Amino acid sequence: MATFTAAIVQAHVAASLAEGLEVTRSLTAEAAANGATLVVFPETWLPGYPAWLDVCRDVSLWDHEPTKQAFAHYRSESVDVNDASGAALARIAVEQRVTLVVGVSERVASGPGSGTLYNTLLTYGPDGQLLNHHRKLMPTHTERLVWGQGDSEGLRSVETPVGRVGGLVCWEHWMPLARQALHVAGEDIHVAVWPTVQERHQIASRHYAFEGRCFVLAAGSLMKASSLPPQLERDTARAASDDTLVLSGGSAIIGPDGAYIVPPRFDEPTILLAALDRAQLDAERMTLDVAGHYSRPDAFVFGVTTSPSRTVR
């Protein structure tokens, strides 16, 4: 399709995975009712970003019982793509006839590595097929207390009714080779998921759009301090009251020239909608195509190891 409507859902994270799936269903339906055929949710939307890593005290202490309890609860609420939670996301895509991209904390039910969580971006087609399963390559700083390293199997773009869709998670946007891998994959639409799309994240998202000559959907969440694990002590400088926003949104839609189509929205729930014209992609690629006429394959050799990592071979 030449023109399509894309949506970013910016909302408060839910109290549980079950509630989060219901909110995902209702907000996807609202976006689809407004014409969206591509619907995007932020980084680890389900069950919510573990902001307690940064705004609670003592979480990095060795053998800290409250932190272990918080992790155990977070793990129990994380998504398993092969169980009912993964099936529920596939049904939402089918029911609303949309391409659905959603960030999740992913758990593995059993077998080798089942004690490890992953920061994952899932892409479902309108037929419910899981088109791409990307695990964040490198958890950032304190995130390494919660998530393991992903692999490059999902470092690609996939064909959808709205065009080729790819995505990266948070600080992967400062990994030049990860960016180049997706530029080579021929994205039309790039999904950039973040906890909050603060200023430096806006810069990275706009740079990605300009460099990749693609539309970028930069998605962030909302979270109040009241959603932090009750057993952890808050840093009062960063979470002064229950109503303090520890995640403040900032979602935006960016064109392939790096300019905002929908400017950032902070501090409030919203569904950002934009009609995107694929002809703009062709116009902007006249001057820059880093995987094509603006590349130098005679001077640079680039490759990606795309096989999944395995604990046992």
Within a domain: 300: no
Within a domain: 55: yes
Determine the distance from the C-alpha atom of residue 186 to the mean position of all C-alpha atoms in its chain, rounded to a whole number.
Answer: 19
Q: 143 is written with which tokens? A: 């995130």
pLDDT at residue 36 is higher than 60:
yes
**pLDDT for 303:** 84
Do residues 210 and 261 touch, judged by C-beta distance below 8 A?
A: no
Q: Binning pLDDT at 50, 70 and 90, where does residue 300 land?
A: confident
Q: Binning pLDDT at 50, 70 and 90, where does residue 1 land?
A: low
CATH number for the domain spanning 46: value is 3.60.110.10
Within a domain: 308: no
pLDDT tens digits for 149-188? 999 999 999 999 999 999 999 999 999 999 999 999 999 9
Q: Which domain holds residue 135?
A: 3-284
Within a domain: 294: no
pLDDT at residue 309 is higher than 70:
no
pLDDT tens digits for 89-133? 999 999 999 999 999 999 998 777 778 999 999 999 999 999 999
Within a domain: 302: no
pLDDT tens digits for 200-212? 999 999 999 999 9
Q: What is the mean pLDDT of the chain?
A: 94
Within a domain: 140: yes
Within a domain: 307: no
- Measure the CA–CA gap between 273 and 295, rounded to whole angstroms: 33
pLDDT at residue 313 is higher than 70:
no
Q: Which residues are catalytic?
A: 43, 136, 170
How many distinct structural domains can be found in the chain? 1
